Amino acid sequence: MLSTFYEVVTGREPVMLRAYLLAVLVQMLAVNTLAEFGYLTVNVPPSFGLITCCAGFVYGIGMVLAVGCAGAVFYRAGEGKLDYLYVVAAFTLSAWFSNNWLAGPIHSFSHSRGLSTTLHDALTIDRILLIVFVIVAGILWFIRGNNLAYKGGWTWPTTGVCIGLIGTAAWTVRALDGKPFGLGTMQGSDEFASLLLEGDLSAINGSLLMVLGIPLGSFIASRMNGTSPGRPLSSKRIGMALAGGLLMGISASLAAGDNVLHGLSGVPILAVSSLSFMPFVILGIWAGVKLGWIK
């Protein structure tokens, strides 16, 4: 998502933004329809008020320092950019440490209790009516967009629909193991660290398999495409990237989710926590760009 929001803060043609918003709208329609008719029970990520907003800002800065979001560093490692394994390790370990020893005390100290609610419940508005309004507004904006491919890849409509369908599938598959969440990387990274460092076999679940599937899918796709797009990190940026991974892991733990969970799972169900977290992620990216941490 760094490329997506980089377009926003630099005023570039919002090709990736259109793909992201279309993925959100596809899930918004599918997941909420399934929930409305009782076929799916969704878990709403909790909001911790000001902590969620501050965590979003720090997470955005971490994305700039790491040159990628939590999901991106996994797929870039799968492409063959092994220097991103440093960032993966930093993100995974900091998320595991924070979930076990940091998030709880900070939430208690600030008297922040997780409030799991959606925008339509908070405003006492009919869910379907609000979703129809958002989807219509989105379609009107999409009509103005050009059907461009991103760096020679899929066009934004194809990308958006595919990601939206994958996100919907994640909701339904995860419901089978009693944890109805959509896409996300923080929890699976935490489970991966728990498996390796604690030998906790219960960590082998849907969240872990989802995270492990990212570099695997990226490896297959990059080999089928014949190239590995983008450039590896320069040696001068390794320290910054490690700091970015640490900041993303800690802030994702404090906000009970990373940009993937909030941006591609929470926003489609109109979770208040996600609608609070994501704007501050963009603000953090803006700050990082203004500080010259990414070109």
Cα within 13 Å of Cα(122), Cβ side: 13
Q: How far apart are the C-alpha atoms of 82 and 162, rounded to whole Å?
A: 27
Return the SS3 of 155. strand
Mean pLDDT by 10 residues, the chain (295 residues): 90 90 96 91 93 97 94 90 90 97 92 88 93 94 74 83 95 82 93 95 91 93 72 73 96 97 96 97 96 84
Q: Average pLDDT, whole number, for the chain? A: 91
Tokens of 11: 């005023």
Residue 196: phi and psi, rounded to 5, are -75, -40
Tokens of 218: 């990226």
Q: For 227-266, how does the pLDDT look when each residue is reduced to its tens digit (9 = 90+)?
A: 665 566 666 778 899 999 999 999 999 999 999 999 999 9
Contact 266, 277 (CB under 8 A): yes
Q: How far apart are the C-alpha atoms of 59 and 285, rounded to whole Å?
A: 8
**pTM (two decimals):** 0.94
Q: How far apart are the C-alpha atoms of 106 and 103, rounded to whole Å?
A: 5
Domain boundaries, the chain: 2-290
Q: What's residue 23's pLDDT?
A: 97
